[in-house]
Every structure is written in structure tokens, then in C-alpha cells.
Structure 1
């Protein structure tokens, strides 16, 4: 990963929050920061990477915002220009060293701004993924199962709706509703880190980790007396999934759950998640809770073969009753195949429609296990044609290659 790519992942949200906090203009802040990254792409390969990349980017972005404001003949602020620049320069020097506590408030304000009630929940989630975590528009589009151009247009409309809105933490009466939106945002952010839609990464542990941290921050800022059961369940779900991050990769290749070395799981995170779930087991069914309970079944099983698959199927039945979706049906079909065999799983996949490569990939795996080799090969070809993630493509190619190998005698 190049230093500029690292800066994009680590610092985009932090720098954008600082710029919005200073200039109170989301459009100017985003445009200025994008210009700064473009300038870095031109100059760093020639002049070398600066000692503090984040400070360089913030300074460059600030200058572009100020140039834009001058062009618009708008007063930058009441303070003299030199004071504004001095404050931002000092903040920039702390961006890397104090990235945790110094920027929490600014980033939280940016997240809550993106969760503004004037936006639909889907628009709020998409905008937060793009602005706060720097997720590429194409990957945001994949999460929402729409074309990239459609998502780009939605993001533009969402930005316009926020023009002029205040950059602040809302009062307690409004905070709980926005937190529910941000919880959905965190879940989607984790998804894009746990299963990147494009590029070479097997996973983006940094993005997934930011989603976990976002949920922790939300739990800390909730008003006293606000119910936290679903937020606790969400944190448990993310921790259980995130605990496997080191085991999901071997020599740069994707490792599926049944083949993972469970000794490489982060068991402290598993234990924290199970502690969160323990008082929620008898709580009313809710989407994040049911998904967390499914993940817990994998966590407590000594091995993949010893997973209580019929309990997993029962949890998915409950989830379907609450929130029927093609993704839930796909996951349930895979669990049914583990419990009752590949033929049963294939029957459950009939009629399921889901864009992307995951559905044909699941069908290919079940067809291969059922001994229907020619159909499996066709399904793998369909999945490969739709897959945009390099690591997953390599995995699918390897699985397809196995179909061509002669079976051992006996």
C-alpha cells in the first residue's frame, strides 16, 4: 500500500471532520480535501512523502478552501486569516499523534450530521460510509445493490440536503433517533471492511475496526435511560466477526470459516461479545441480536463440524420473520446445506435473486458438493464474471480448478 493510499484510509474522515468543523461547509471541505489528495498524487512521487502526511494534506486542503472562499467573496471568519491558518496548522500537527481523543468530538459531529433527519436512512448510511470512512463510491453502491452512477447521484443529493445544517451534536431528544441511524451505518461500514467489493484486499481490518469504535463511541454518548439492547447486540456481532480477522487470511489468500485456525482468533473479543449477549438471550428477537446469536454459535463450537447448524437455521427463520431479504435467504440456505446436505441447500436457493457474485458462488459450492460437476463449473464461471475482489476471484478460481482434478480412488 502506498503512503497516499494509507493516508486515504487512515486520515480522510479525521481531516474532513476538522475542515467541516472549521469552515462549516461540507461541500467546501470535501472538495478541498479531494483536491489535496489529487495534489499529493502528483507531487509526492516527485518530491517525496512528507514527514507528516496528514498535516500536509490538511494544509493543502485548507489553502484550497480559502482560495474558494476568496473567489466567492465570502469572509473566511471574523479572526484574521493568519490566526485561522495558525490554528489549523497546529491542529494538523496533532492529527497523527492524537488521532484518538482529540478528534472524537469532530468525527462524532460529522457522523451525526450525516445521520440528519432530513435524509433517508439509506442516504445517511451511504453518505457516512463515503465521507467519514472514505469508502469508494463503487463499494458503497455494491452494498446497496445499485449501479455506481445511481449511488453517485444519491450522494450528491444527500450533500445538497445538508447544505446549511449545523455541525453539532443534537439535543438529547433527537440524539436517540440519530443513533439508530448511525448503528445501521456502522453495520454497513463493517460489512465493507469485512468483505471488500473491489480491489486486492481480503479484508479491510482498518475500516472494520473503525466501525467497532464507532459503536463504542455511540454507547458512551447515549443519554441515560436510553435502551441499549440492540446497540449492545450490534457491538457483540461486530466483535465476533472482527475477532476472526487474522485467521481470514493465509499467505494473502482468503480462508473461509471452516478452514480457519481458531487459535488465531482474538478470543478476548469473543469473550467480550459473549458477555454482551448473555443478558440478551431472552430479549425479544431483533435483527442485530439474531445475527449476533448466529455468530456466537460459530464462536462457541469447538470446530466447524461441531457447529449446532439446526440452531443456526432456527435463528435465520426468526430473522426472516423480522426482515426477509435475499441475503438472509442465502445465508439460511448455506446453513440448511450444513444441517441437511447440499441438495436441501440448493432447494432453499431456488427463487432467490441477489446481484453480485455471492449467490452463484454459493450455488457452485453446493453443486460441487452434490457431485453435479458440470453445473458447478457453470456456476463458478458466472460468479467469476461478477466478482470484483481480487482475493475472492483467486479463491473462486481455485475452487473451480478442483472440479477438474480426478477424484482419488475408492
Structure 2
């Protein structure tokens, strides 16, 4: 196999393989604009790496462009219409550059999360500061590559951070500005093999002693069901099945749904918390604030659903707030900082000298499940991992083939 700049250059590529790849993305739910980006990336690989003009992918790119236009009913690279901007902008920062405001609108059209929007905007602003201009249309892949290299060399960022920066810049240049980018030649951040932080069973007991009320319930659900912190905060009343003792996690990481345990220890406290949610729900309906956030325009499909308790958050905020996107005043779920603050306090009071975060409870769930004899595939499904390799990261060196492993010094001293 021949190599150039560390890349294999004889990877076969033909029109049929590109079409099949695009069809596989379609089966996995990728919209036309994402499939268009993938094919353009292959075209760039053909031009820059293979240095060939065949296969001709013009017709494939044209077809995907038309499909993208049909999905949006606009030009795939055209900025949103005035009507779309009015519906989607919400309370945008009018002091931001036009490209960033347009990017915010595009992200909302495509149902990106608020966290992703904040991250993308942050990276685009940082890139603008790096190049010294908000007129992004004048820059190209070389400027992006220089920026990514600076992050890796001078900023010493992690690979995931650099990838996030690259994704945000690819989005704004290709989907907002409409500029076709070539190969990004950048120094990549070095990937490190890190072990997640988890707690022993005795440490879990010590931590739990310092939690009360709804935060205690969140602790039981995150650790007992393997939920992510955000998934726990976003639970709705309809997601709990007491009869079959399971929780349905809706729209988890990767926009995937899954089913996991409903811990027995959490049942009584969960029922009390739902009664609290019911109290706030009835008060909001009575005072004319019945609406609640519903994804993917479900509020239009089910206009009366907001008046039903089933759609309300199990962990509602104590105060109403105005949504930054829609401008509607409603009661959202509690914020991330509340449980995080309580967790840090419990960690300090327990005198546990570990760099733990709420997500460490999820790591502990997976570790203890595997230590208890659960098979990898089961844990993978409960955790919602796409790749089993992620789950295998929780198989720590504690036991091997049922034989306890000891340190050599312990064996020597024991003799």
C-alpha cells in the first residue's frame, strides 16, 4: 500500500460505492444536506489525495442538491427567508455578525440543540478573532487549517475539542456561506487514552447521604438507571412506566431513544416528585401558562398536549422563564448547575478525593453492572452506546477469568 502524508492513497472509490454510501446514510436518517457534504468530501478526497478526475460525481452532487432544496423548499445554500428568520431567530443578539445570525437560524431549521448552537457560535467568533475579520466569505480551507493547527499546537486542546471547532467551521462555510471547501491540512491534536472516573459502591453510599429532595432522586436515577445528567433533567411524566418498572429515554445523545431500568429505590420518591410536577402544571394552566417545550413542531400536531400532565417535566423549574428561541414564557426543567453544585458539595463533605462530576455516576453504573456479571451487549443498550468499544472502556482491571489479580508487591509481602 502506498502512502502520502500518512494517508493511504489507493483506497478504491467509484461511482457505485459513493451512491451506496449515500444510500446507507439515508437509511440512518441523514438529511440530504448532510449526504451532500459527505459526497463533496469524497470528491475532495478524489481530487486532493488520489489526484484523479474519475469517477465523475457531478450528477450525484446535483441530485443531492435538488433533494436538499426540496427538503427546505429553498436553495440549499441560500440564507433563510425573512419569514423563516422571524419564526426562528427568537431573541438573537442583534450585535452579532450577519453570518452568525444566519447560522443560528440554519441550526434551528435543522433542529440542532441549544448546546450545539452555543458551541458553534463560540467557535465561529473565535475563528473571526483569529483571522481579524467578521467577513468570513473571504477565507478558505487554508485559513481554517491554520486555525485548527493553532488550537492543537499553541492551545493544546483535546482531539474532541478540535473536532468540534472543525465541525462548526465546516457548517458555517458550507451550509451558510455556501463555499465549497477542499482538504483541510491541519496538525491534529494528539488523542489520549483516558480512563473515566467512577466511584466504588461504598463511595456511592457516602455521596448519597448528602443528597435530599429532588437532588437525591436525580442521584438515584443517574446512578441507578445510567442516565446522563441532561437526560435526567429532561424526563417527562409520560416517560415513566411504573407497572413494567422502566424509563424511556427520549431523544438521547445521537437523537436516539432507549429503555433503561426504573430503580426500585427511586419509585416512591419519583411518585412524590410527579405530584410536585402536577402542582406546578395545574397552577400554570390556571394562570394561562400551559405551554411547554415540545420538539419537532409536535405542539402544532398536538395543540392540546401542553394541557396534559404527561408532557410536563418531572423536574420543573421553580420559576417560569422566557425561551430564548421562541420567546414564549413557560416553565422549563431545572438547570444543570443546580445538581452540579449539590454534587460538588457532597463530594467535598464525603472527603472523596476524586475528580468526579455528575457524569461519573453514569460511569459508576456501567462499571458496577459489568462487575456484577452483566454482559457487554446489555450494558451497551442500557447506556445507549452506538459502538460497543465505548462500553468496553468500562471493563476495568479488577477481575480476570474469575481469578483475583494482586499487585506483585502484595504477593511478595504475603509470602
- Greater helix proportion: 1
Question: Is TM-score (shorter-chain normalized) higher than 0.5?
Answer: no
- Greater strand proportion: 2
TM-score, normalised by the number of residues in structure 2: 0.27
TM-score, normalised by the number of residues in structure 1: 0.27
Larger Rg: 2
Higher relative contact order (CA 8 A, sep 6+): 2
